[in-house]
Structure 1
Amino acid sequence: MCTRVVWNGPSGQVLVGRNMDYHRETATNLWALPRGITRDDGVGGQLSWTSKYGSVVAGAYDMMTVDGLNEAGLGGHILWLTESDYGTHDKSRPALSVAVWMQYFLDNFATVAEAVDWIEKTSVQVVPLGDPATGEVPAVHLALDDATGDSAIIEYLDGTPTVWHSRDYAVMTNSPAYGEQLELLKKVKGFGGDAPLPGTGDASDRFARAAHYVSSLPEPQSQVQAIAGVLSVIRNAAQPFRVPEPGKPYASQTIWQTVADLAEKRYVFESTTRPNIVWVDLSDLDLSEGAPAGKLDLLGDTALEGGLAGNVSGRFEKSDPLTFIAMPS
Structure 2
Amino acid sequence: MDKKVIALFCSAILSAGTLSSSDACTRVTWAAKDNVVVTGRNMDWDKDDKLQLHIMPAKVQRSSGGDNPLSWNAKYGSVVAWSFDGQVANSGMNEKGLQADLLYLGEAKYGQASPAEKTLEAKTFIQYVLDNFATVEEAEKALKSEPIHMISKGMHAGLHYMVTDRSGANMIIEIAEGKLKIYPKAGNAVMTNDPSYESMLKIYDYYKEKDLARNMPGSPHSVDRFMRAAGWLEQISPDKMNTIINLVPGKDFAMQVRMSVLSVMRTLSTPFAISTERNPENSTTLWRGISDLKNNIMMFDLAGSPSTVWVDLNKIDFSQGERALSLSDGEIKQGDVTRQFTPVQ
TM-score (normalizing by structure 2): 0.85
> In the alignment, what sits opposite 1:299?
328
Give the letter for the 1:315 counterpart: Q
Alignment partner of 2:221 out of 199, 202, 206: 202
> In the alignment, what sits opposite 2:286?
255
Partners of 2:141 and 2:100 in 1: CA distance: 16
Could you give the per-residue CA deviations for residues 180-224 of structure 1, whole angstroms, max 9, x where no partner exists?
110111121xx2236722111111111111111112112245222
Asked whether 1:192 is paired with 2:209, we answer yes
Asked whether 1:158 is paired with 2:187, we answer no
Aligned-pair distance for 1:243?
Answer: 1.8
TM-score (normalizing by structure 1): 0.89
> In the alignment, what sits opposite 2:42?
19
Q: How does 1:97-116 map to 2 (within 5 A)?
A: 97-116=121-140
Aligned-pair distance for 1:244?
Answer: 1.7
Residue segments in structure 1 that go unaligned for 5+ positions in a row: 132-136, 321-329
Partners of 1:23 and 1:89 in 2: CA distance: 32
Alignment partner of 1:83 out of 103, 107, 112: 107
Could you give the per-residue CA deviations for residues 123-149 of structure 1, whole angstroms, max 9, x where no partner exists?
311110225xxxxx2211011000110
Asked whether 1:67 is paired with 2:91, we answer yes
Give the letter for the 2:59 counterpart: G
> In the alignment, what sits opposite 1:171?
190
Asked whether 1:226 is paired with 2:257, we answer yes
Partners of 1:298 and 1:207 in 2: CA distance: 27
Partners of 1:82 and 1:198 in 2: CA distance: 22
Alignment partner of 2:311 out of 263, 276, 280: 280
RMSD: 1.6
Instruction: Give the percent of matched residue pairs that are identical in Structure 1 and Structure 2.
Output: 33
Alignment partner of 2:150 out of 126, 132, 138: 126
Partners of 2:194 and 2:123 in 1: CA distance: 21
Cα 1:116–1:92 change in 2 (3 A) is: same
> In the alignment, what sits opposite 2:21?
none
Corresponding residue SS for 1:151: strand
Corresponding residue SS for 1:187: helix
> In the alignment, what sits opposite 2:8?
none
> In the alignment, what sits opposite 1:324?
none
Partners of 1:7 and 1:298 in 2: CA distance: 25
Aligned-pair distance for 1:91?
Answer: 2.9
> In the alignment, what sits opposite 2:10?
none
Residue segments in structure 2 that go unaligned for 5+ positions in a row: 1-23, 241-250
1:94–1:122: 8 Å Cα contact kept in structure 2? Answer: no
Give the letter for the 1:284 counterpart: K
Could you give the per-residue CA deviations for residues 283-307 of structure 1, whole angstroms, max 9, x where no partner exists?
111112xx1111012232420xxxx
Partners of 2:75 and 2:168 in 1: CA distance: 21
More helix by share: 2
Alignment partner of 1:270 out of 277, 291, 301: 301
1:23–1:250: 8 Å Cα contact kept in structure 2? Answer: no
